[in-house]
Amino acid sequence: MKLVAGLGNPGDKYAGTRHNIGFLVVQELAERASVSLKKKGYQGVYGAGNVAGQQATLLLPQTFMNLSGASVGSACKSLGLGPGDLIVIHDDIDLPFGTLKIKTGGGHGGHNGIRSIREILGSGEFVRVKVGVGRPSGGGDVAGYVLGPFSAEEKKALGTVLENAAMAVETILEKGVAWAMNEFNNRDARN
């Protein structure tokens, strides 16, 4: 069993924002695997099923980004999973929009959702699928930028980005992290 958690903020106010790209990728993954995300539990919304040949629980924490660890930790504990069984999908402002980067372990890189998960699990040794959202132009307000909607140009490419990010997670589940890193890291997922 694997746990795949997409990070974001609950509610309509945040639904189409850059910070919620983790939610969007998990929703795409669920659709591709015909997994219904309707169960409530683990302080989130989740569904379970066969994803790329692996039993997986797909989780959308409903705790707000900064407290993502409460939901992810609850799911890990209930399912008897350790950090090595966890894949977290989240936005990354240090990657250009549409670029993917897969890694295992490391620090939180200033991402409060990852910081929270690391604190709750007591480890950072889980797989991260980072989806680039870029930075605001001219060094603008980062919080306002990530909590803002995608630009018209980004929206045109968003479907392809989500498909490629979902394929990256499927590749991790099917062929392993190293294989997925070779195939997807620093690839422009807009094409």
What does the DSSP assignment read for 30-87? HHHHT----EEETTEEEEEEEETTEEEEEEEE-S-GGGHHHHHHHHHHHHT--GGGEE
Cα 23 to Cα 27, 140, 178, 182: the distances in Å are 6, 24, 24, 24
Domain count, the chain: 1
What is the C-alpha radius of gyration for the chain, rounded to an integer number of angstroms?
15
Per-residue pLDDT of the chain (191 residues; tens, 9 = 90+): 999 999 999 999 999 899 999 999 999 999 999 999 999 999 999 999 999 999 999 999 999 999 999 999 999 999 999 999 999 999 999 999 999 999 999 999 999 999 999 999 999 999 999 999 999 988 788 999 999 999 999 999 999 999 999 999 999 999 999 999 999 998 788 88
Active site residue: 19, 90, 108, 111, which one? 19
The domain containing residue 174 runs over which residues?
A: 2-184
Instruction: With respect to residue 190, please indicate whether it lies within any of the assigned structural domains.
Output: no
Tell me what pLDDT residue 57 has.
Answer: 98
What order of strands is seen across the sheet that includes strand 100-104? 39-41, 44-51, 54-61, 2-6, 86-92, 127-132, 100-104
Tell me what pLDDT residue 18 has.
Answer: 97
How far does CA 15 lie from the centroid of its chain? 14
Structure tokens at 151: 């630009």
Instruction: With respect to residue 191, please indicate whether it lies within any of the assigned structural domains.
Output: no
Instruction: With respect to residue 189, please indicate whether it lies within any of the assigned structural domains.
Output: no
Instruction: With respect to residue 144, please indicate whether it lies within any of the assigned structural domains.
Output: yes
Longest CA span, the chain: 46
Q: How far apart (Å, rounded) are the C-alpha atoms in residues 32 and 11?
A: 23
CATH assignment at residue 82? 3.40.50.1470
Task: Write out pLDDT tens, residues 84-133.
Answer: 999 999 999 999 999 999 999 999 999 999 999 999 999 999 999 999 99
Structure tokens at 33: 């695997």
Tell me what pLDDT residue 188 has.
Answer: 80
Average pLDDT, the chain: 96
Residue 108 bears catalytic tag: no
